[in-house]
Amino acid sequence: MTITLDNIISIVNKTIDILLVWFMFYYILKNIKNNVKLTLIFKGVLIIAVLKIVSDLFGFVTIGLLLEYVIMWGPLALIVIFQPEIRAVLEQLGRSQLLGRHKVLTVDERERMIYEIIQSIDYLRKSRIGALIVIERDVSLSDYIEKAKKIYGDLTSELLIALFFPNNPMHDGGVIIQGNRISCAGAVFPTSNNSKINKRLGTRHRAALGIAEETDCISIVVSEETGRLSIAVKGELFYNLSLDDVRMMLVDELRPKKESDFEDEVDEEEIYEENK
């Protein structure tokens, strides 16, 4: 076979075409993983597809007919019912980051960041001062930052405490951390409609879970009434944690995946002890 310029162009075009399709599926699956509601939709679609295959294999006429109607009208129903979630994914096309801000931090910077957060929430819980601290990861929180009060200050426990201190105009909202800097305060987040959340938990906890359901951020809550600590991450709310539980969760969640668990654990434990 003679290699011509047309053949080379054809191969290049097909390669680019395949790469674009691969990137599209990768991006869709990545956003599904970071969004609890989209994960449920994806699981539902998979279940319907499996049932359809089974019905065709075993000749189940009635269930097969019903599934055909579901497949025919299902996409339209999904668009109508889950319009907010679909819109959120499309919005993320313009605001997602290829690498999370925490990933560019050194081990020392990351551990210093955790140390400052732990120092601040320790004071806040003892003083019964409510707080909501959100740490950005891969999915950008720029939309919420734009509507909040800009800070762009170095992350220190003193600044965090001051932002949530009573009578401070910004203490009711949330603080967003990017990397090792405080980007804004007074941020407002969507509240979760999860029916499993404890009815006694207030707006802060629902907002923490709400933003954790829509993005891959880490939300830390200090209860104003009880001083208890909670973390919302990956669409789940972990309630009534100890200070050490919070620290260990932050160490684990903020650890870059490429680092080995053993090396990172040893280094970060040593640095944390030095910072005490």
Q: What is the pLDDT of residues 31-56, one digit of tens each?
A: 666 566 667 777 788 888 888 888 88
Q: How confident is the model at residue 5 (pLDDT cuts 50, 70, 90)?
A: confident
Work out the number of other CB atoms within 10 angstroms of the CB of residue 194.
Answer: 15
pLDDT digits (tens, 9 = 90+) for 169-222: 878 889 999 988 999 999 999 998 887 788 788 899 999 999 998 888 999 999
Compute the C-alpha angle 50/53/59, nearest 5°. Answer: 135
Helix (H, G, I), strand (E, B) or coil at 100: coil
- Residues of the chain within CATH 3.40.1700.10 domain(s) are 101-275
Sign of CA dihedral 139, 234, 34, 206: negative
Higher pLDDT, 138 or 206: 206
pLDDT value of residue 70: 82
Q: Which tokens is 56 given?
A: 């065709």
How far apart, in whole angstroms, are the C-alpha atoms of residue 273 and residue 121?
18
The answer to whether 128 and 227 have CB atoms below 8 angstroms apart is yes
pLDDT digits (tens, 9 = 90+) for 60-70: 888 888 888 88
Q: In terms of Cα–Cα distance, which of 174, 168, 167 is closest to 131? A: 174
**Mean pLDDT of the chain, nearest integer:** 81
At the top level of CATH, the class of 101-275 is alpha beta
Work out the number of other CB atoms within 10 angstroms of the CB of residue 196.
Answer: 8
Q: How confident is the model at residue 80 (pLDDT cuts 50, 70, 90)?
A: confident
As beta bridge partners, residue 230 has: 221
How far apart, in whole angstroms, are the C-alpha atoms of residue 183 and residue 163?
12
> Full-prediction pTM beyond 0.85?
no
Strands of the sheet with 174-178, listed across from one edge: 149-154, 181-187, 174-178, 131-135, 218-222, 229-233, 236-241
